[in-house]
Amino acid sequence: MKALSIIRVLDVRQGDGTYVTSLAPQLLLDTLGFVVDFHQDDTVLEFLEVRRILEPAATALAAQRMNAEDVAKLQAVLDGLGDTLDVKALVANDLEFHRLVAVGSGNTVLCSLLEGLSGPTTRARIWRGVTQEGAVARTREQHQAIVDAIASGQPDLARSWATVHVAGVEEWLRKAL
């Protein structure tokens, strides 16, 4: 139900019921394409491998270079997630969080590379949020640990938490495919 709601086949109305949004062939084909592409295209694992290599380095640099105002913006993005279990909100928040960390690295080339890697992994992020129990809480906890390490200027700790975070997604995806 959750997955069909996210990909716009079902409209779940709290306290009212669940409704099919449309049986239009294009919507159903788009939905089927989403699921098939995701499960057949394992190149997303290669993108995650590259993210696992580059993102911890960017996070370590951010711990050395971000000022208090930058860290406050990063914390505000994380706080903006709140207690929502909405997968769309989680993915949007996750993308913005990682973008700010990359910008905080102060390296425009690294930032550009990471931005280019975020698009191809969006479907995996959505699917994980839908199918993995506790994904929202786990993401929030790991992001907070990253913020704390950056705020305290501990590049090795920031690198470690970023590695744990991205490797966790990669590990989940290997099992899911």
pLDDT digits (tens, 9 = 90+) for 25-68: 555 555 545 554 545 556 788 888 899 999 999 999 999 999 99
Report the candidate in 28, 176, 54 with the shortest Cα–Cα distance to residue 111.
54
Greater confidence (19 vs 76) lies with 76
pLDDT given for residue 62 in this prediction: 98
pLDDT given for residue 44 in this prediction: 80
Three-class SS state of 45: helix
Strand residues in 80-133 grouped as ranges (E): none
pTM over the 0.85 mark:
no
**Rounded (10°) angle between helices 122-131 and 135-151:** 120
Report the candidate in 135, 161, 132 with the shortest Cα–Cα distance to residue 146.
161
- Cα 13 to the chain's mean position, in Å? 25
Three-class SS state of 106: coil
